[in-house]
Amino acid sequence: MQRKLLLAIFFLIYLPLHSGGKKMSFHDFHSQTIQGKDISLSAYKGKVILIVNVASKCGYTPQYTGLEQLYRDYKDQGFTIIGFPSNDFGAQEPGTEAQIAEFCQLNFGVSFDMMKKLKVLGKDKDPIYQFLTDNAPDKGDVKWNFEKFLIDKDGKVKGRFLSSVKPESEELKKAIEGLL
């Protein structure tokens, strides 16, 4: 309850006062890489970003293959993918960050950025996911693992794709190409 109250204060009072009246962007947040390094998401300014909440023991886990291919196909055009592991759905991401990183590398050759495990639901929802779900064209909680948010070069949420939308789908590729 206390965390929820602090997040509410942060979003309602602190951010509007300290953002100079500008609307928040994805670039205003910080996270930690899966290796534990603090990172400002402003490092991604000027890139089109696909954000995906991932899990190692999910029926959608094979999407890592498509995500890696999508990353390789578009990375030289200013596109990147950021995976945020989450254990919120069916306890399908039980491992540590080190175990997750090893799993992704060994099984799927993941070379796109992976961040620390976080909460995408509930009272302890990470502020990044609060921002994503509040600013997506289709607002509301994440429904399952491998849901995707498309961010433009300015850090605005421009698209949201359910888990069932495969990384290699024309729908997703066209949305990415439209922002590049």
Which one is catalytic: 15, 24, 39, 58?
A: 58
From 141, 97, 133, select the one nearest 115 (Cα to Cα): 97
How much is the pLDDT for 23?
A: 78
Domain that holds residue 51: 25-179
Residue 87 belongs to a domain with what CATH number? 3.40.30.10
Domain-embedded: residue 59: yes
How much is the pLDDT for 19?
A: 46
44 and 27 in contact (C-beta within 8 Å)?
yes
Domain-embedded: residue 84: yes
Domain-embedded: residue 151: yes
50 and 150 in contact (C-beta within 8 Å)?
yes
pLDDT tens, per residue, the chain with 180 residues: 566 555 544 555 455 444 444 578 999 999 999 999 999 999 999 999 999 999 999 999 999 999 999 999 999 999 999 999 999 999 999 999 999 999 999 999 999 999 999 999 999 999 999 999 999 999 999 999 999 999 999 999 999 999 999 999 999 999 999 999
Q: How many domains does the chain have?
A: 1
Domain-embedded: residue 7: no
Cβ-based neighbours of 67, under 8 Å, separated by 6 or more: 50, 52, 81, 83, 110, 112, 167
Backbone φ, ψ for residue 150 (5° rounding) = -105, 125
Say whether 58 is catalytic: yes
166 vs 162: CA distance, rounded Å: 9
Domain-embedded: residue 110: yes
Domain-embedded: residue 98: yes
How much is the pLDDT for 172?
A: 98
